[in-house]
Amino acid sequence: MNGAERLRARGLRVTRPRLAVLEVLAEGGHLEVEEIARRVRARLESVSTQAVYDVLAALSRAGLARRLEPAGSPARYEARTGDNHHHVVCRGCGEIGDVDCAVGAAPCLEPSTSHGFMIDEAEVTFWGLCGACQSRRVED
Ligand SMILES: [Zn+2]
Ligand SMILES: [Zn+2]
């Protein structure tokens, strides 16, 4: 499916900013809004950062983008949705990697107590130091 078809399939109107954001996200990675806005403006001039925020909110609600917000860093967005994958985040530089969910469906962890809640998701973030930050630390 191309971008327009994916938008229509989720009941969203097709607009050039929405198509541009989908294209940028399809390039991969976990991108900050400023970076997404910069790449969108390379395709379409005169799209405000606020417009990009609005598009990302609509795409997230529709399940076409996933928002993640590791503690202490700005929100990031990615195109990979619906597979309950997790993230590994570097404490040194903020680098983020995808970690496939071993179970594949939420919630993949069983809590020791649910407090009577019907649990539908476990948000798992692995924290550590990436390879580059480990070698930097050895040099220091
Ligand atoms: Zn790092
Ligand atoms: Zn991811």
* DSSP one-letter string for 46-98: S--HHHHHHHHHHHHHTTSSEEE--TTS--EEES--SS--EEEEETTT--EEE
CA 96 / ligand 1 centre spacing (Å)? 9
Break the chain into its structural domains and give their ranges.
3-68, 82-139
Report the predicted TM-score, pTM, of the whole model to 2 decimal places.
Answer: 0.88
CA 83 / ligand 2 centre spacing (Å)? 10
Q: pLDDT band at 9, cuts 50/70/90? A: very high
CA 128 / ligand 1 centre spacing (Å)? 8
Q: What is the pLDDT of residues 115-125, one digit of tens each?
A: 999 999 898 99
Q: pLDDT band at 1, cuts 50/70/90? A: confident
Q: pLDDT band at 50, cuts 50/70/90? A: very high
CA 80 / ligand 2 centre spacing (Å)? 6
The domain made up of 3-68 has a fold known as Arc Repressor Mutant, subunit A (1.10.10)
| CATH architecture assignment, domain 82-139 | 2-Layer Sandwich (3.30)
Q: Is 90 exceeded by the pLDDT of residue 71? A: no
CA 69 / ligand 2 centre spacing (Å)? 11
- Which ligand sits nearest to residue 137's alpha carbon? 1
